[in-house]
Chain A
Amino acid sequence: GAVVSQHPSWVICKSGTSVKIECRSLDFQATTMFWYRQFPKQSLMLMATSNEGSKATYEQGVEKDKFLINHASLTLSTLTVTSAHPEDSSFYICSARATGENIQYFGAGTRLSVL
């Protein structure tokens, strides 16, 4: 099956620093990539949708200046959490959709802990 690689899997940072998370589709071209946030024992909340070469579409309530998304190629999307604060600590998961497919392939997630 299609593989999506997400790095890093775990990151600890100091408050005020920025953290970049990468999401790569390894064996297919991802027309669309999605970024989710998941709190402990809760469901996934869609943060934004990114299409290659265009600006990301953010869900209501998600600060686009706080969570910068870049989808520079058909195989790579990045999420940068800028000026991270403890309340940004969470599990972030990306997914990718190939052209013509209805399902999403998920990365393994990144656990962010902001001290």
Chain B
Amino acid sequence: SQQGEEDPQALSIQEGENATMNCSYKTSINNLQWYRQNSGRGLVHLILIRSNEREKHSGRLRVTLDTSKKSSSLLITASRAADTASYFCATVRGSNYKLTFGKGTLLTVNP
């Protein structure tokens, strides 16, 4: 079942701007991960944040996690046209490694 809800569902920005996507979930988690999917392709793992972490950085990506609000955000700084894709958050509960995906945010970066 779907646990995560991303917002916005779609986001359109200009190159160079920052893009922020949010994700909310309903149950306790072991970790939360963000994935990217180009149209008609598989997913690429971007970043993982554990339940005891609050913020994590990877290149132009910044992820925050607020377990009290059961929410996470993904910030992409200085966006590029190549960042155009769908972005999904996914949560892991327990130790079974199963991912429960949110509905995703379609990001369009206009050149």
| Bound form: Cα–Cα A103–B41 in Å | 18
Are A93 and B98 in touch, CB under 8 angstroms? no
Q: List residues 28-78 of chain A with CB under 8 A from any CB of chain B.
A: 32, 34, 41-46, 49
Are B42 and A34 in touch, CB under 8 angstroms? no
Find the A residue at minimum CB distance from B89: A43
With A34-B98, A108-B41 in contact, is A102–B48 under 8 Å at CB? Answer: yes
Count, A-B residue pairs, CB within 8 A: 55
Report the count of interface residues on A (CB-CB < 8 A): 24
With A102-B31, A102-B92, A103-B33 in contact, is A44–B97 under 8 Å at CB? Answer: no
28 interchain pairs, CB-CB under 8 A: A6-B42, A34-B98, A34-B99, A43-B2, A43-B101, A43-B102, A43-B103, A43-B104, A44-B88, A46-B99, A49-B96, A49-B98, A91-B40, A95-B42, A97-B97, A102-B31, A103-B33, A103-B45, A104-B97, A105-B45, A106-B43, A106-B44, A106-B45, A108-B41, A108-B42, A109-B40, A109-B41, A111-B40
